[in-house]
Amino acid sequence: MTVTEVFRRRAEPAAALAGEAGTIAAACHAMAARFHRGGRLFTFGTGGAATDAQHVAVEFVHPVIVGKRALPALSLTGDVATLTGVGAGAGFDEIFAHQLRCFGGPDDMALGISPDGRCGSVRRALATARDLGMLTVALAGGDGGELAGAADHLVTVPSADPRVVKEVHVTAYHVLWELVHVFLEQPDVLTGEDGA
Amino acid sequence: MTGMQQLYPFLYAGGPGLDALMADVRRSTAEKAADIARLRESVLEEYGEALAVCAARMADAFRAGGRLFTFGNGGSSTDAQDVAALFLNPGDAGRPLPALALTTDVAVVTALSNDIGFEVVFARQLAAFGRPGDIALALSTSGNSDNLIAALREAARRGMLTVGLAGYTGGQMAEEPAFSDGRHHLFVVPSSSVHRIQEAQTTIYHALWELTQRELTQAELDREAR
C-alpha cells in the first residue's frame, strides 16, 4: 500500500457527493426555513463522528467567513457529565435522545452523523427528534445502514471505509452550512412548507 | 414533473425564484466536490513522499514508547480530537496507540487561559506531559495561531517529533525553524478556502494514521520472518 493508493481510494466516494446535490439542496432549504423562524440545530454522533458534530456546530455558531451571521447550533457531544450520566443510567442509546427531549421543540433541527449508519444512540435520537416534530437530517455511509428512512434528509457516502466516509461528510457539512446561508439571504423562498 | 419535483414537491411551492436558486445550489455542491478532489491531488503530488517519511518516523516514535499529542483551535480542535481518537481507539482497523488531544479538558484549558493566557494552553500541557521521542501534531488552517506556534516551539525544545498541518501558504508555521531542518514535517494545503483546507487535512491525517499502522505491522512481520 502506498500513499498514492490511500489517496486514490478517496476519489470515487468524494466525487459521488455531486450525486447527493439534490438531497443537500433540499435539506438546506428546509434548515434555512427553520432557522428563519427561530429554530435551533442540534448535532450528534459517537466516536469520531462526535468530533464532526462539534465541528458542524461551531461552523454555525462562529462562521469562518466574515459577515455571515451566527446561528444557534449545539453539539450534544460536548457535555461529558451528561453523556456519562445518561449513559450509566438510562443507557448509551439514550445519551442524545435525552438531551433532545430536554432542549428540542417542533421548530428545531436534529443532525445525526454515523459513518456506518449503525449507531444506536444516533438512531434513537433521530426517532425522538421526529416524535418532537423536529426536522431530521442524517449523514451516513454505505447504504445508510439503519438510518435509511430514519431522517427527512439522508446523505450517504458510497464507501465502507469509515475514514473515507468521514472525509466526504466534512465536505457535506461545510456545503450544508454554506447553502443554508444562501437560502437565508433569500427570505422570500423560505415561506410555506419546508418539508418537516 | 421532474424527478426533483416528485421527490421534493414542497420545494417548488416557492415559484421560479426558488427553482433557479435550487439549481444554483446543486451546481455549487458539484463544484465543491470537484474542488476538493483536485486539491487532494495537489497534496498527493506535493507531499506523497513526505507523508510516507513522516509516517515512518511516527511509527519509530510509537515503537520507542512515544505518545502522540494533538491540538488545534475551532474546527481544527475537532480534527485534533478525531485524530487522537483514531490512534487511541481504531476498533478492528488497527492497533491502539497512545494519543491525547490537548483540547478536551475544559478545566485545564480555562485554567491556563484565565491565569496566563490563551497562547499557552497547548504549550503548557506539552511542558507537563511531553517527553523526548513523543510526537506533537498541530492542526491549523492559517498557520498563524499563537498557541500552536508556542506549542510547536515547546515540543521542539523537548526533543519531540513535530508535525504541522496548515493551509494557504503556511503562515507563521512555515517560518518556524523546526520545520526547515528536515527532521520535522509541515504539510501546507495549497488553498485559500478554510473549508477545503480542513477537508484535505482530514485526508492527510487519515493517511498518516494508515501508513503508521502499516509501518508497525510490517516491522512486526519482518521481525517474525527473521
ipTM attached to this prediction: 0.94
Short-list B164, B159, B158, CA closest to B185: B164
In a domain, B192, yes or no: yes
What is the reported pLDDT for A196?
A: 40
Nearest CA in chain B to A188: B14
Average pLDDT, chain B: 93
In a domain, B54, yes or no: yes
Residues in chain A within 8 Å Cβ distance of B21: 182-183, 186, 189
Q: Rounded mean pLDDT of B1-18?
A: 56
Inspect the interface and report whether the beta carbons of B34 and A18 lie closer than 8 Å: yes
Distance CA A31, CA A171 (A): 17
In this prediction, residue B16 has a pLDDT band, given cuts at 50, 70 and 90, of: low
In a domain, B20, yes or no: yes
Distance of CA B144 to the CA centre of its chain: 15
Q: Which residue is listed with cell 491531488?
A: B41
Q: Which residue is listed with cell 466525487?
A: A15
In a domain, A123, yes or no: yes
In a domain, A192, yes or no: no
In a domain, A195, yes or no: no
What is the reported pLDDT for B44?
A: 97
B15 vs A19: which has the higher pLDDT: A19
- CATH number of the domain encompassing residue B25: 3.40.50.10490
Nearest CA in chain B to A171: B199
In a domain, B7, yes or no: no
Domain of residue B195, residue span: 13-225
In a domain, A118, yes or no: yes
Query: How many domains does the structure of chain A reveal?
Result: 1
In a domain, B168, yes or no: yes
pLDDT in tens, chain A (196 residues): 699 999 999 999 999 999 999 999 999 999 999 999 999 999 999 999 999 999 999 999 999 988 999 999 999 999 999 999 999 999 999 999 999 999 999 999 999 999 999 999 999 999 999 999 999 999 999 888 889 999 999 999 999 999 999 999 999 999 999 999 999 999 888 876 454 4
**A25 CA: distance to closest CA in chain B (Å):** 6
Cβ-based neighbours of A44, under 8 Å, separated by 6 or more: A50, A53, A75, A76, A77, A96, A110, A111, A112, A113, A121, A122, A125
The string of DSSP codes covering A45-87 is -STHHHHHHHHHHHHHHS-SSTTPPP--EEETTS-HHHHHHHH
Residues in chain B within 8 Å Cβ distance of A64: 74-75, 141, 194-195
Residue B5 has pLDDT above 60, yes or no: no
Q: How is the beta sheet containing A73-75 ordered, strand by strand?
A: A73-75, A41-44, A109-113, A135-141, A153-157
- Please state the φ and ψ torsions of residue A140, each to the nearest 5 degrees: -135, -170
Rg over alpha carbons for chain A, rounded to the nearest Å, is 16
Distance CA A125, CA A99 (A): 9
Short-list A76, A134, A142, CA closest to A126: A134
Q: Give the residue from A4, A10, A60, A135 with the most B CB atoms within 10 Å of its CB, the best one to mutate.
A: A10
Residue B13 has pLDDT above 90, yes or no: no
Chains A–B, number of C-beta pairs less than 8 Å apart: 155
In a domain, B1, yes or no: no
Inspect the interface and report whether the beta carbons of A186 and B199 lie closer than 8 Å: no
Rg over alpha carbons for chain B, rounded to the nearest Å, is 21
In chain B the beta strands, taken as DSSP E runs, fall at 68-72, 99-101, 135-139, 161-167, 185-189
> A92 vs A80, A116, A117, A125, A153, CA distance in Å?
13, 17, 16, 11, 25
- Residue B160: which region, alpha, beta or left (left: phi > 0; alpha: psi -120 to 50)? beta
Q: Angle at CA A167, nearest 5°, toward B171 and A100?
A: 105
Domain of residue A177, residue span: 20-184
In a domain, A5, yes or no: no
In a domain, A31, yes or no: yes
Cβ-based neighbours of A83, under 8 Å, separated by 6 or more: A77, A95
Short-list A144, A69, A138, CA closest to A110: A138
**A193 CA: distance to closest CA in chain B (Å):** 6
Inspect the interface and report whether the beta carbons of B75 and A48 lie closer than 8 Å: no
Is the overall model pTM greater than 0.90, yes or no?
A: yes
Query: How many domains does the structure of chain B reveal?
Result: 1
Are the CB atoms for A93 and A110 separated by under 8 Å? no
pLDDT tens, B126-185? 999 999 999 999 999 999 999 999 999 999 999 999 999 999 999 999 999 989 888 899
Per-residue DSSP letter, B122:
T
**A110 CA: distance to closest CA in chain B (Å):** 19
> B213 vs A4, B88, B115, CA distance in Å?
16, 12, 39
Inspect the interface and report whether the beta carbons of B85 and A182 lie closer than 8 Å: no
Are the CB atoms for B160 and B135 separated by under 8 Å? yes
Are the CB atoms for A195 and A30 separated by under 8 Å? yes
Residue type, B115: D
Short-list A40, A119, A48, A104, CA closest to A72: A40
Inspect the interface and report whether the beta carbons of B25 and A52 lie closer than 8 Å: no
Distance CA B177, CA B157 (A): 11
- CATH number of the domain encompassing residue A90: 3.40.50.10490
Residues in chain B within 8 Å Cβ distance of A186: 17, 21
Inspect the interface and report whether the beta carbons of B211 and A3 lie closer than 8 Å: yes
Short-list A195, A54, A44, A50, CA closest to A126: A44
The cell for B31 is 463544484
Inspect the interface and report whether the beta carbons of A26 and B74 lie closer than 8 Å: no
In a domain, A26, yes or no: yes
Inspect the interface and report whether the beta carbons of A55 and B202 lie closer than 8 Å: no
Look at residue B71 and give its three-state secondary structure.
strand
